[in-house]
Amino acid sequence: MSKLKEKLAKKIEEHRPRTTRLVKEYGDVVVGDVKISQVIGGMRGVKCLVTDISYLDPYEGIRFRGYTIPEIMEKLPKPEGAEMPYVEGHLYLLLTGDIPTEEDVMEVVEEFKSRKKVPQYVYDVLRTMPRDTHPMTMFSAAILAMQRESVFAKAYKEGTANKMNYWEFMYEDVMNLLAKLPEIGAYIYRMKYKGDTPIPSNPDLDFGADFAHMMGIDKPYDDVMRMYFILHSDHESGNVSAHTTHLVASALSDAYYSLSAGLNGLAGPLHGLANQEVLRWIQNLMKSMGDRVPTKEELEKYCWDTLNSGHVIPGYGHAVLRKTDPRYTAQREFALKHLPDDPLFKTVSLLYEVVPPILEKHGKAKNPWPNVDAHSGVIQWYYGVREYDFYTVLFGIGRALGVLSNITWDRALGYPIERPKSLTTDMLEEIAGIK
Ligand code: CMX
Q: Mean pLDDT in each 10-residue stretch from start to end of the chain (435 residues)?
A: 96 98 98 97 96 96 97 98 98 98 98 96 98 98 98 98 98 98 98 98 96 98 98 97 98 98 97 93 88 91 96 96 96 97 94 97 97 94 97 98 98 98 98 95
**55: which strand partners?**
63
**Domain locations in the chain?**
274-382
Q: Show the beta-strand stretches assigned E in 25-71.
A: 54-57, 61-64
Q: How far is the CA of 362 from the centre of ligand 1 (A)?
A: 12
User: Could you tell me if 370 and 325 are in contact, meaning their C-beta atoms sit under 8 angstroms apart?
Assistant: yes
Atom of ligand 1 nearest to the CA of 315: 44
pLDDT of amino acid 325: 96
* Per-residue pLDDT tens over the stretch 280-291: 999 898 888 888
Question: What 8-state DSSP symbol labels residue 316?
Answer: B
Bridge-based pairing state of the strands 54-57 and 61-64:
antiparallel
- Which residues neighbour 361 within 8 Å (Cβ) at sequence distance 6 or greater? none
- Which residues neighbour 330 within 8 Å (Cβ) at sequence distance 6 or greater? 69, 70, 73, 227, 231
Q: How far is the CA of 401 from the centre of ligand 1 (A)?
A: 25
Q: Which CATH architecture has domain 274-382?
A: Orthogonal Bundle (1.10)
Degrees (nearest 5) of the Cα angle 345, 348, 352? Answer: 135
How large is the greatest C-alpha to C-alpha distance in the chain, in angstroms?
68
Annotated catalytic residues are: 271, 318, 373
User: Could you tell me if 345 and 390 are in contact, meaning their C-beta atoms sit under 8 angstroms apart?
Assistant: no
- Considering only CA atoms, give the Rg of the chain: 22
The answer, yes or no, to whether any atom of ligand 1 lies below 6 A from the CB of 365, is yes
pLDDT of amino acid 289: 83
Among candidates 399, 410, 325, 396, which has minimal Cα distance to 51?
Answer: 410
Nearest CA to ligand 1 atom 22: 365
The answer, yes or no, to whether any atom of ligand 1 lies below 6 A from the CB of 313, is yes
* Per-residue pLDDT tens over the stretch 242-281: 999 999 999 999 999 999 999 999 999 999 999 999 999 9
The answer, yes or no, to whether any atom of ligand 1 lies below 6 A from the CB of 186, is no
Q: Is the pTM of this model over 0.95?
A: yes
H/E run at residue 377: helix 373-382
20: helix, strand or coil: helix
Size of the chain in residues: 435
Q: How far is the CA of 318 from the centre of ligand 1 (A)?
A: 6
The answer, yes or no, to whether any atom of ligand 1 lies below 6 A from the CB of 272, is yes
d(CA 134, CA 387): 11
d(CA 338, CA 352): 19
The answer, yes or no, to whether any atom of ligand 1 lies below 6 A from the CB of 266, is no
CB atoms within 10 A of CB 111: 20
DSSP letters, 250-289, are HTT--HHHHHHHHHHHHTSTTTTTHHHHHHHHHHHHHHHT
